[in-house]
A and B are shown apart, each in its own frame.
Chain A
Amino acid sequence: MTITEDAPAAHVGSRRLRKEDPALLTGEARFIDDLALPGAIWVGVVRSTEAHANIVGIDGSAALEIDGVNEVLSGADLAPLWGEGALPCAWPVTPDMKNPTHLPVATTTAKYVGDAVAVVLADSRYAAADGAAAVVVDYEPLPAVVEIEDAVADGAPLVHPDLESNECYTWGLWGDNAAAVDAAFAEAAHVVSERYLQQRLIPAPMEPRGCAAVPSPAGGELTLYSATQIPHILKVMTAVVLGIPENKLRVVAPSVGGGFGCKLNVYAEEILCSALAMQRGAPVRWTEGRSEGALSTIQGRGQVQHIELAADADGKVQAVRVKLLADMGAYLQLVTPGVPLLGGFLYHGCYDIPNYMFECTSVFTNRTPTDAYRGAGRPEATYAVERAMDSLAVSVGVSPEEIRARNFIGADAFPYESAAGLVFDSGDYQAVLDKAVALAGLSERRADQASRVAAGSSKRLGIGFSSYVEMCGLAPSRVLASLDYGAGGWEAATVRISPTCKVQVVTGSTPHGQGHETCWSMIVADQLGVDPDDVEVLHSDTAVSPTGLDTYGSRSLAVGGTAVYMATEKVIDKARAIAAHQLEASEEDLEFSGGTFRVRGTPEAEVPLAGIAFAAFTAHDLPDGMEPNLEAHVTYDPPNFTFPNGTHIAVVEVDTDTGNVDLVDYVAVDDCGVQINPLVVEGQVHGGILQGAAQALYEDAVYNSDGQLVSTNLADYLVPSAAEAPRFRLDSHATPSPTNPMGVKGVGEAGTIAAAPAVINAVVDALRDLGVTDVDMPASPQTVWKAIADAQGGAS
């Protein structure tokens, strides 16, 4: 055999088609509602139609007349199932944070429209739905608080009357820097002061939620199937809430059709079905309806932002001061209070701003609880700072790209310690922006824009910038401890090589559409010199993957993928020892590439990995004291976050006669570090951008003054389709992260974080000469038309 050159990384970096897709595209994948569970009890949840009301009575007699409806249970009937156990909040951000007891089914008072107040048990999903619709609840309405700022007004009705106010907590980041911030504002040549609204959003993944609890009464075990992002966390929490011993509990996430954060939670229905299944000794299941989900699944965003920038005469920002009001909804779900904090470190954006002050007051309202939604705090922060930077550019009299250039953290400043206390890993923000400017054809666009204004055209062009940096790879466990988060941020992986040299990867990450199986296979295949199709990736079942912390916060690759990489290295190390033993060479003299160990300088002395795998299995001739089999387990706790960044440029055409906004071009240059599979990266960026543009232009969870959600279906809640997607033009500029061995950063949330401010900045840019300085999200045609009319001095 001839010596080959070291094999290049054959798969990482290639546009390999996803191995998940054949099963998804042919309908072979099995989702929660596909589970066949003969004899299951179907749960129908009766939900409050009032935003705030005492529950005076529950009459189930009409429901019980329906064929197939067997029981109607009130919150009081169910209370013994969970005793003192309440739905968990894992992030007590301050010692004095208010966390009102959140029962799976309310007993005395309904706190929001959609709050569970009773349950119907039936033979089928149809009977459960009919039964739930037939239950008559007698409500005594109470005053409701709907809007965020109303919650902190004097004399506001109390969401929780046993608390003194609607304030949940106040959390800040200023340390001993407050005086310096004030001084910067006192000395500033330019001060920008803006108020922005982050409307509530409904996550709306393609698959709604659902769960099924299946008991094994003889042994006292329970298997909980759930459309969840977090089977591992759900297992611990269910055990704690219901007192089921962890060794008797298994949680399985089958194929899960998206989550965007809304399935990063422990929900009432999961606890309810588990408790009932244990009590009844029969499977108990529930599948969410789309309109039901609009009320009963967490919503995203919901903030009122006040941001101020103090800049010197050149537009160099010296201080940023942020005061936030954040809407928790009626109760705290799993990480509800922590979401504003995740943005709280990033209100300086990708700029070198020496003085920083952030304060968030979070409030209860009589609305569905909020929680993490794609980006979780970081889209809000990026929106505020990127909108404010455009205002500063106008004040200083320079272009948006120039104000950014004057303030970027320099490429030579990394590792960069931010005023908010983070250490940024790597980046070249100016190079990224320059690439985006070139790709967008900025000067031609600006010329077109100017000629339309000169001609008095009703089709105005707007160009909007958004430069962002985000913290991903959640997270170093010690950092999470300092933020009072209730868990660590590590991830686990096991890698095994079978006797026939096939590879089994067990990951603690929990895919729900991202493509983990494909990407983990590519990483491992390159390391081991095997084909990606020879790698199986097991996940999402605590009986198969007992250790893990799941998928959220763009953490899978940077933390979970790194764990897989490191476990594979450990397997290679063991294989190397066996190879050295077989070749009678020292380990230091061996090289490993293309799946073969060779003795350097002695090319005929080689042994393939397959031979070592079989030798490790037979264990006939292993080094003294070595355990059989090729297998390694790693739990990786990252030393730092990763900091993906980028610049996005949106181009819009605004019809000033109708207010219609057409997203005509969209350029994104992202630095997500090393890319494992550019096809997967682009898919994430495409979807992320459209989800961010959706907040800018389409989506709005509209509540009326009575606290009724008005946009409860997909005709009224405008999730954009492919037909509304802009032309995506993408490029990248990788600066490998020094934090992990592969240099990866994460890309799951980048598009969503960047897109909303780019689009709104473009809309405002299109209309600035008409006097428009701000447009609320979503910039619907009516909203834009009225903004123009207001700026022109009254409606036409």
Chain B
Amino acid sequence: MIPAAFDYEVAESADHAIALLAQHGDDAKLLAGGHSLIPMMRYRLATPSVLVDVGRLDDLRYIRTGNGTVSIGALTRHSELEHSAEMAEACPMLASVAALVGDPAVRHRGTLGGTLAHSDPASDLPAAVLALGGTIVAQGPGGSREIAATDFFTGYFESVLAADEMITEVRVPAGGGGWNYQKFNRRAQDWAIVGVAVAGGGAGVSLVNMGSTPIRASGVEAAVAGGASAAEAAAVAADGLEPPDDLNADAEYRSHLARVLTERALNAAGVA
């Protein structure tokens, strides 16, 4: 529970953070809310030699709506998503999912950009952004680029982000039909054993903790689009997946949960 030694730099701006990342190379990690990274460092599962603290970049804490899009600064805390009236109006799903992350302490420190960059397949918000068809804006030495959430996640704790890039903004469509998020866990503070996010009345469906990344349940989406009932669509939720085995659930039980929770989420989202 004692992290390995590391150096610490405070970024004054996004440009400064990216310059520091370029300067320190692969050994540097961005520190935002720290509620995923620091526990991993305490267990020595992560041993970055330099932490670049972007937690004070308050100009990246915002929620803006316009043109049918909600734009969220990367350093926006989960608790800000949870309690934002603007978010409740424009994208209540994201506000609702944010309220289910960890415990109040985690939600007051954790950031939307941080949880996406961390790319934990068991996290709630990445799957929600995926189901919503969100876009992730990343800035690097050469400028900014937009990455579709569907293209973002590549593996366990891995994404297409380069070592010298940082997420600056996340965009999700405003409004857009029935939604629901089913989170199944044993203690309120825990990661989902399995989670299911449904957005757009079943147009976007994603799964939490059913593989190495947040997974877009395209088979379920296609079934819904083809007029299948919630039960019929949910029946294919785990098809072709290789969910993990752990102390809470083996692969068979996880697949079962994915089907049960998908049906519940589709029903709650208005799919008959």
Contacts and interface: CB of A to CB of B under 8 A. Distances in A.
A193 B188 CA distance: 37
Interface string A650-677: 0000000110100000000000000000
B162 interface: no
Interface in B34-57: 43-44
B253 interface: yes
Given A291-B43, A658-B260, A782-B248, A721 B189 contact: yes
Given A133-B44, A291-B43, A658-B257, A698 B186 contact: yes
A697 B186 CA distance: 9
A785 B5 CA distance: 45
B188 A130 contact: no
Contact of B184 (A658, A786, A796): A658
Nearest to A291: B1
B186 A718 contact: yes
Interface string B97-128: 00000010000000000000000000000000
Interface string B182-218: 0010111111010000000000000000000000000
A715 B106 CA distance: 14
B2 A125 contact: yes
Nearest to B186: A718
Nearest to A715: B190
**Which interface class (under 10, 10 to 19, 20 to 34, 35 or more) fits B?**
20 to 34
B256 A785 contact: yes
A290 interface: yes
B1 A721 contact: no
Interface in A770-786: 780-782, 785-786
A776 to B, nearest CB: 14
A546 interface: no
Interface in B214-259: 247-250, 252-253, 256-257
B272 interface: no
A698 B190 CA distance: 12
A710 B260 contact: no
A698 B186 CA distance: 8
Contacts of A61: none
A720 interface: yes
B187 A723 contact: yes
A292 interface: yes
B4 interface: yes
A660 B249 CA distance: 12
A605 to B, nearest CB: 63
A573 interface: no
B12 to A, nearest CB: 28
Contacts, number: 62
Interface in A111-156: 125-126, 129-130, 133
Contact of B43 (A702, A713, A718): A713
B191 to A, nearest CB: 8
A129 B249 contact: no
B1 A292 contact: yes
B248 A780 contact: yes
Interface in A703-721: 710-711, 713, 715-716, 718, 720-721
Interface in B3-22: 4-5
Contact of A660 (B43, B184, B247): B184
A51 B191 CA distance: 30
A795 interface: yes
A623 interface: no
Given A658-B257, A782-B250, A130 B4 contact: yes
Interface string B69-107: 000000000000000000000000000000000010000
B187 A780 contact: no
B271 to A, nearest CB: 18
Interface string A613-624: 000000000000
A627 interface: no
Contacts of A718: 186-187, 190
A22 interface: no
B248 to A, nearest CB: 7
A290 B1 contact: yes
Given A658-B260, A720-B187, A721-B189, A710 B4 contact: no
A352 to B, nearest CB: 40
Nearest to A290: B1
Contacts of A795: 252
Nearest to A125: B2
A83 interface: no
Contacts of A289: 1-2
Contacts of A658: 184, 257, 260-261
Given A698-B186, A718-B186, A782-B250, A796 B4 contact: no
Nearest to A133: B44
The 9 closest A-B CB pairs, nearest first, are A129-B2, A723-B188, A289-B1, A782-B253, A657-B260, A290-B1, A782-B249, A724-B187, A716-B247
Interface of B: 1-2, 4-5, 43-44, 103, 184, 186-191, 193, 247-250, 252-253, 256-257, 260-261
19 contacts: A130-B2, A130-B5, A292-B1, A660-B184, A698-B187, A711-B247, A721-B103, A721-B187, A721-B188, A724-B187, A780-B186, A781-B184, A781-B249, A782-B248, A782-B250, A782-B253, A785-B253, A786-B253, A796-B256
Given A658-B184, A781-B253, 16 more contacts: A125-B2, A126-B5, A289-B2, A290-B1, A292-B1, A658-B257, A697-B186, A713-B43, A715-B191, A718-B187, A718-B190, A720-B187, A721-B103, A723-B103, A724-B187, A780-B186
Interface of A: 125-126, 129-130, 133, 289-292, 657-658, 660, 697-698, 700, 702, 710-711, 713, 715-716, 718, 720-721, 723-724, 780-782, 785-786, 795-796
